[in-house]
Amino acid sequence: MFFECSHITFSYPVTEDPVFKDLTFKVNSPGFHAIFGPSGVGKTSLAKIVIGELTEFSGEIRTEGIHTFLYSYNLERLPGWSSVQSHIEKITPVSKIGLKDELIDTFGIREHMRSRFSQLSLGQQNRFNLLRYLLQDFDLLIMDESLANVDELTKEDIILKIKDTFPNACFFYISHNVIEVSRFCQEIFVLGDVHKQPQIQMVKGLNYSTGQTVAKKDLETVILEIMNAS
């Protein structure tokens, strides 16, 4: 499996400066890979290029062993006229009913299944939204602030469950939380301003998984490397 963006240059039509200029990076394995950087640097634009929503760019995207791309993002909405349980049941394949029940418990949302989406908190909405993507077939799932407004302990449970359940899938994890990406991701692609070359740099994360421990010193080292790359 690999995913590669090669020499990507992209500008929005109404702007003079490009968002990306000769952007190149490569992912060679499944697992959690972070796209990290300050607001406005182009993380969501990059996600939309990857999934094919933005097409007016130069350069090339090449993949091997990755055929189905999905994109989950913060504050995405579900239909509000029926319960979330009704919606989840409609989109769950028979083969994944057991997985659905496992994820509902891990996500801590079972007691809210009969609620309408509009009745949920932001964190609950994001959890339900992410759940529906995990119940589909995918090779690469982009999680664009998908766990925003979720408490840290629940977020850790969810990420570890995803890692355990989908060891052969690739995840692009977009987050503003430097501690989070340092702990959970195996590679952190630090995206910088277009005028800085290279625009993207890779830092090795700790790739924390179930049963492991993270030393404070190691975490601080990764965070410092990310800050130096920013």
Taking only the tens place, the pLDDT of each residue in 157-173 is: 999 999 999 999 999 99
Reported confidence tier of residue 230, pLDDT bands at 50, 70, 90: confident
Region of 42 please: left (phi>0), alpha (psi -120 to 50) or beta: left
pLDDT in tens, 60-95: 999 999 999 999 999 888 877 789 999 999 999 999
pTM of the entire structure?
0.95
Could you give phi then psi for residue 12, rounded to 5 degrees?
Answer: -75, 145
Domains observed in the chain: 2-78+138-229 (3.40.50.300)
